Every structure is written in C-alpha cells, then in structure tokens.
Amino acid sequence: MALLKTITLFFSFLVSLVAYSQMDFPAFGSFSDEEKKLKQCSFDPEAEAIFLLDKAVVTYDDEYHMITDRRIRIKILNGKGIDRANIAIPFYSKNDFEYINKIEAHIYFEENGYQSSTTVEKKSFYTEKTNSYYSVMKFAMPAVKVGCIIEYHYTSTMKNYNGLDEWRFQSDLPTLKSSYLLQMIPTAEFAYTVQKSRNYNIVIKPLQSEGRIYFEMTNIPGLRIEPYMDAPGDYIQKAMFQYSAYQNVFGDKQKVNSTWKDLAYSLMTDKTYGSQLDKDLKIEGVRSLTVTESTDLGKLKAIYEYINKNIGWNGMEGRFAADGLKSVWDRKKGSSGEINLLLVNLLRSASIETYPLLAAERDFGKVDTTYPFLERFNKTVAFAIADGKQYILDASQENCPAGLTPYPLLNTTAFIVDKKNYKLIKILPGNNFYKNIISIKGVMDAKGQVNGEAKVQSYDYARQSRLNAMKRDKNKFIIDRFEKPYEGLAADSFFTVLPEHDSLPFDQFIKFKQQLNESGGLTFLNTNLFTGMEKNPFISSIRFTNVNFGYPYNIVAEETFKLPAGTKVEVPEDKTIRADDKSVEASKQVRFENGELTVIIRFLQSKTLVNAENYPGIKDTYKKIVDMLNEPVVLKLPN
C-alpha cells in the first residue's frame, strides 16, 4: 500500500539539529550486548546476515552540493553471509558528478572469550570504473568469521540535488533499523511517495522548523527472489522523492511537473528530449531506406531495423539524449534513451506518427500513476502508429522485430510524452506468445537406449529468448535446454538455422542418445523432452509477490518412438489438466500402433499476471501439470 504526500520546504541556512540529535543511534564502533550475542534474526530466521543499522543524513554546502553521510552496520549470522563482507559502493562518476570520501571501516569479532576490533587500512580502499557513467568504491573486511559485526561509513558528494534518489529501507537481508534524514536546498519544494506493506510501520517526522523530513523503519525482513516475480522494487519498502516546485530569482514559485500534463510539457521543451525530436539531423542515406516502401508499416520496419542493427547499445538504460542525437548517430552507439529518441526523430522525418514513450521495465518497478514521478521510469522507447496499428519499439533490444512488444515492458505502465496527446497506457503482449513447436523421432533398441533427433521451432518471445541465449553462450544454451534437465541424455550433434525474416521461426536441430531407466524388468520412457516444463517453479509454501509471466505460453510436442518388436506397452489414459478459470491447460495423449509409440503434448497459458493471493491455485495447477508430463510410459522390452 503506497502513501503519497507532498511537503513544502522553504527555510534559511541556519539549521538546528536539536530534534534530530534526540533520535536514538549508537555511537560508531560501539556495540550493545544484544548485538554481540545475536545469532539469529527473530523476524527472518533464515537470514545469513542482518543490517543492524542503515542510516543516511542528507545536507548541502554553500554551493548547494548534495552531501550524504551514510553509515551501515552488518552482522554475519552464518557461513553463507561471509561474502557480505566484500563491500561495493557504486557512484555516478561521469563528469565528476559524484565522489566518495571520508570512508572508514572496521570489524568487531569475539573468539574464545576475547573481543577484538580491526580497522580497515586506507590502502585497502580502491575504485573501479564500471562504465562511462558509473564507478564503484570497493574494499574487503579482513579476517571475517561468523558472528562478526561489520561497520563502515562514508560521504557521498554530488554536484547538485539532481542526484536525489529513493531510499530503500529493505534489501534481500533483514534490517533491524533503517533511517533517512533529508534536508532540501533553500526555497525548494518536493514531493515524496512512500511504498510500504501494511504489515510494517513507518515513522515520518516532518521537521518543519529545520526544513527537514525524517523517515524510519524497523524490523523489516529480507525480500527473497521468487520465480516469475515482478521487480523486487515493487515490493521493497522505500521512499521516493522528486522536485515539485522552486522559488525563482524574483521570489516567485515555479511548479515542476505536478501533473502528467506538466511532465509532458517539461519533457517536450527539454533540449535533451523533446527539442531533439523534430531537428533535421541531415543524415545522408536515411531517406533511401524508405524509397521502395509504399506503406507506413514498411517504412517503419525499414528505419527500425536499420537503427537496431547499426546503432549499438552501450549497455546503459536512459531517458534523455544529453549530447544530442547527431552525436549518437556519429558514434554509432548510445544508451537506450538516446537510441530510441533517434528512432522517434527518424520515424517522424518519414511522416510516421510517433511519440517518445517513457517506460519502466518490469525489473525496474511499477509506475505510481497518482503522481508524475519521472524517476519511476528508467528508459525512453518509441510509440508509433502505422497503417492504423500501434507499435511499441525499443531499438536497443536484440532480436526483437517491429510488432513484437519488448518483453521487459510487458504488463507495465508507460507514458506517451506529447504536449497534446499525453497519456498513460498499459502495455500488453497482444497476440504474441512464447511459442515452441517440438518434433521428436526416436528409435529404441532392445537394451533401452533411444537414438533420436528433434526439431524445435521457436516463435515470438521464444524466438527472441533463445536467439539471445545462444549468442551469449552456445554451449551453455545446449546444456541448459537440451541435456541438463534429462537424466541419461547426451547430445550427439546440434545445429541451428537462423531466421532470414522476422516472420520465420528460429529452428534448432539436435541428435541425441538417452539410456532409459529400468527397474524390476520394466523400462520407463520419459516423453517430457525439451518442453521446458520439467520442474514446477512454484515450490514455496507462501508467496508475497505477484506471479508475472510477462507473456502467454503455447507449447506443442509431437513425438514418435519406434520400439523393438515384441515390446509391451502400458498405454496411459488421455489426460487434461485445466485451471478453474481456464487460463492454464495441458493435455497428454499416448497411442501405440504397429510397433510405434506416438505422444502429443499441449500446453497453453493465456493469463500472464497472477496476484499473490491466488498463488496457491497456480502452484497446485503447475504441480499437477508437471507431474502429468513427467509420468513415464512403462515398457516391457522383449528378452
């Protein structure tokens, strides 16, 4: 349940710390007996470590630099938590926007009745450059053991308050106490929204006389990663901030994006965003891409495919084009925002109705539609209308043709940015599926070994997923999808046929051998091959997050096995398992005629989002389906 509230802060440079000093915090390096004796987190017993304290205080200096003093205290509870002593502090280093200093760290431990504390030497701190935008300060605590308490603090200095980010009270580890004290610059007004579960309390103290606001949460369990979950950020307890107004040099109050209309206008007049969209970039050869196309859809595909294949993604998501679109074209590389703003520009130059679309990928988190928080979106993509049909395009995505809505955006909310036609939209998969058609032919010998060959045709999202996985690591792709899930199966050969056109599937061919299991004179043939349905992903007894599949599924497997003459087969009855709401259905048919066993498996799932309260139903349905598919055909081979 989210709480939304706006606080106005107008204050002077003289700031009193009386109210804040009354808030209870232990001294740095001073640990209570309770902390020393703690061996298990009472509200999260499975935790490997616990944040005893995570505290931040945000202030500013005479030049309005944003200064954050942060202090973190962690206790290692068991052997799995020892890696938590390897500390990494990321910061935005591009153009020296942020730097880290005043860092100090030490570790407390008790052994054989003796207490000791070790300070990390300054030479142990070092900085690594992650990419052109970010760097990370790293260090490792020495001599870490179970029961150690780690504590460190540092100062982050940013050039301005544009770096103001959300504060997370929760992580994958439990947190005993998390606090955030924010002081805004003079004459600034800001909005904040708090995302929290109704099961946990939050303290919010507006310190109006000081121009500050204080947040605190305690006893927060860790948030675990679960299969097909929404973004962890959708469930993490956190506070988010955004400017809503400021006082100009004449003393007048200027609002900033207090409505979605304001946000659209602000972006469309921004020199790094909307002002880039109608510029003539004077790019040679672009018009020639569409000369032979007679339809808007043909033009759209030609421009999209060219950008997708010729402008490389630098691995960074983004919303703006800070250096201008012409520079993106010249260097043939950019962030997702830069690439897609370039796409919008070129589509518009071809007279195709196109708008920039602010998007929040599923892994980034849900958009709160009650207030226009720009920071709730992590990238810009393109929204185009061609021949009466709408297209959502992300040219930074690999193997994602026009017409296939990018998978990371499915089941999310996005914002069309335009001065007149601005609006929030829900992104759905449409008529596209994760679709695999599997054909298997096998011959079994009298010793229970199957020599087989299979063809898998992958369409839509299965096509994109498998092409990307194979490009990353072909050997891992073969092992993970064709060998590892199946006992006794080994690939003799594997090859693929890459699709020459977007409408064609990705074809994968494999020749394999599999030695079947035998017991008590009976042989067991597993017919659940290459479907991806070998295990039930839902095994937890409880679940706190929604089940978000993203796309619907369509899987069909047709299999034939030539059996040795004289083989006796226990042919099972046809089975169909269907969810109560008919959103998931699976069937299996087995036939045995003229020495040949035929198996047909079908799996169809239409619902892509299941609320957490309905988790027991989807868990039970999947268990029944997987059990049915894994049920072997029992054979009695000839002596």
In this predicted structure, the answer to whether residue 11 has a pLDDT above a threshold of 50 is no
Q: Which amino acid is it at 283?
A: I
Two tokens, residue 617: 């139903």
pLDDT of residue 80: 95
Place 110 in a pLDDT band, splitting at 50, 70 and 90: confident
Band of residue 10 on the pLDDT scale cut at 50, 70, 90: very low
Residues 338, 350: contact at Cβ < 8 Å? Answer: no
Give φ, ψ of 175 to 5 degrees.
-130, 125
Annotated domain spans of the chain:
2-16+32-247, 260-427, 434-636
pLDDT of residue 190 exceeding 70, the answer is: yes
DSSP code per residue over 57-95:
EEEE-TT--EEEEEEEEEEE-SGGGGGGGEEEEEEE-GG
pLDDT of 221 over the 70 cut: yes
Instruction: Give me the residue label for tokens 């130059």.
Output: 349
| Cβ 138 vs Cβ 87: under 8 Å | yes
Mean pLDDT calculated for residue range 86-100: 95
Was domain 434-636 assigned CATH 2.60.120.1130? yes
pLDDT at 243: 74
| Confidence label for 247 from pLDDT (cuts 50, 70 and 90) | low
Q: Which fold is adopted by the domain 2-16+32-247? A: Immunoglobulin-like (2.60.40)
Residue with tokens 């950019």, as numbered in its chain? 334
261 contacts 421 by C-beta, under 8 angstroms = no
Q: Is 614 left (phi over 0), alpha (psi -120 to 50) or beta?
A: alpha
Report percent pLDDT > 70 for the chain. 94
Lowest mean pLDDT among 386-400, 531-545, 572-586: 531-545
pLDDT attached to residue 6: 46
Q: Does the pLDDT at position 204 exceed 80?
A: yes
Q: What tokens appear for 526 in the block? A: 């597993």
| Amino acid letter, residue 131 | N
Measuring CA to CA, which residue among 465, 467, 510 is closest to residue 489?
Answer: 510
Q: In this model, does residue 192 exceed pLDDT 70?
A: yes
Q: How far apart are the C-alpha atoms of 357 and 464, rounded to whole Å?
A: 22
* Token pair 């504590």: residue: 151
Q: Which band of pLDDT confidence, cut at 50, 70 and 90, is reported for residue 174?
A: very high
Closest CA to 148 of 173, 111, 199: 111
pLDDT, tens only, 265-303: 999 999 999 999 999 998 888 889 999 999 999 999 999
Q: Please tell me the distance from the alpha carbon of residue 380 to that of residue 264, in angstroms, as a whole number.
A: 13
Strand 175-183, strand 49-60: pairing: parallel
Residues whose CB is less than 8 angstroms from the CB of residue 426 and which lie 6 or more positions away in sequence, other chains included: 411, 412, 413
Note the pLDDT of residue 248.
63
Query: What is the rounded end-to-end Cα distance, in angstroms, of the chain?
Result: 67
Sign of the alpha-carbon dihedral angle for 85, 86, 91, 95 = positive
**Average per-residue pLDDT for the chain:** 91
Q: Do domains 2-16+32-247 and 434-636 have the same CATH topology?
A: no
> What would the mean pLDDT of 354-379 be, rounded to a whole number?
91
Burial 462-471 (b: 16+ CB within 10 A, else e): bbbbbbeebe
HEC-encoded secondary structure of 558-602 = EEEEECCCCCEEECCCCEEEECCCCCEEEEEEEEEECCEEEEEEE
Residue 252 confidence (pLDDT): 67
Q: Is the pLDDT of residue 1 over 50?
A: no
Indicate the angle between helix axes 296-310 and 336-349, nearest 10 degrees: 150
Nearest one of 268, 247, 256, 164 to 213, comparing CA atoms: 164
The whole-number pLDDT of residue 235 equals: 83
Residue 15 has pLDDT above 60, yes or no: no
pLDDT tens digits, one per residue of 116-165 = 888 999 999 999 999 888 999 999 988 899 999 999 999 999 999 888 98
**Cα–Cα distance between 568 and 182 in angstroms, integer?**
76
532 strand-pairing partners: none
Q: In this structure, are residues 205 and 7 in contact, taking their beta carbons and an 8 Å threshold?
A: no
Please tell me the distance from the alpha carbon of residue 638 to that of residue 595, in angstroms, as a whole number.
Answer: 12
Instruction: Report the CATH number of the 260-427 domain.
Output: 3.10.620.30
Instruction: State the DSSP code for 222.
Output: P
d(CA 430, CA 608): 11
pLDDT above 90 coverage of the chain, percent: 75
Q: What is the pLDDT of residues 314-347, one digit of tens each?
A: 999 999 999 999 999 999 999 999 999 999 999 9
User: Residue 8 burial (CB < 10 Å; 0-12/13-18/19+)?
Assistant: middle
Q: How many CB atoms lie within 10 A of CB 250?
A: 6
Give me the pLDDT at residue 82, please.
95
> What's the pLDDT score for residue 19?
41
pLDDT in tens, 531-574: 999 999 999 877 878 999 999 999 999 999 999 999 999 999 99
At 356 the three-state DSSP class reads: strand
**Can you tell me the distance from the alpha carbon of 339 to that of 400, in angstroms, rounded to the nearest whole number?**
15
SS3 18: helix
pLDDT in tens, 226-238: 899 888 878 889 9
Residue type, 277: L
pLDDT score, position 209: 80
pLDDT in tens, 589-607: 999 999 999 999 999 999 9
Report which of 566, 593, 571, 490 is spatially closest to residue 525, judged by C-alpha positions.
Answer: 571
219 vs 207, higher pLDDT: 219
Comparing CA positions, the residue from 468, 449, 448 lying closest to residue 458 is: 468
Supply φ then ψ for residue 204, to 5 degrees.
-125, 120
pLDDT digits (tens, 9 = 90+) for 489-519: 999 999 999 998 888 999 999 999 999 999 9
**Which string of b and e fits 504-543 if b means at least 16 CB within 10 Å?**
ebbbbebebebebeeeeeebebbbbbbbebeebebeeeeb
Q: Please write the tens of the pLDDT for every residue from 411-468.
A: 999 999 999 999 999 999 889 999 999 999 999 999 999 999 999 999 999 999 999 9
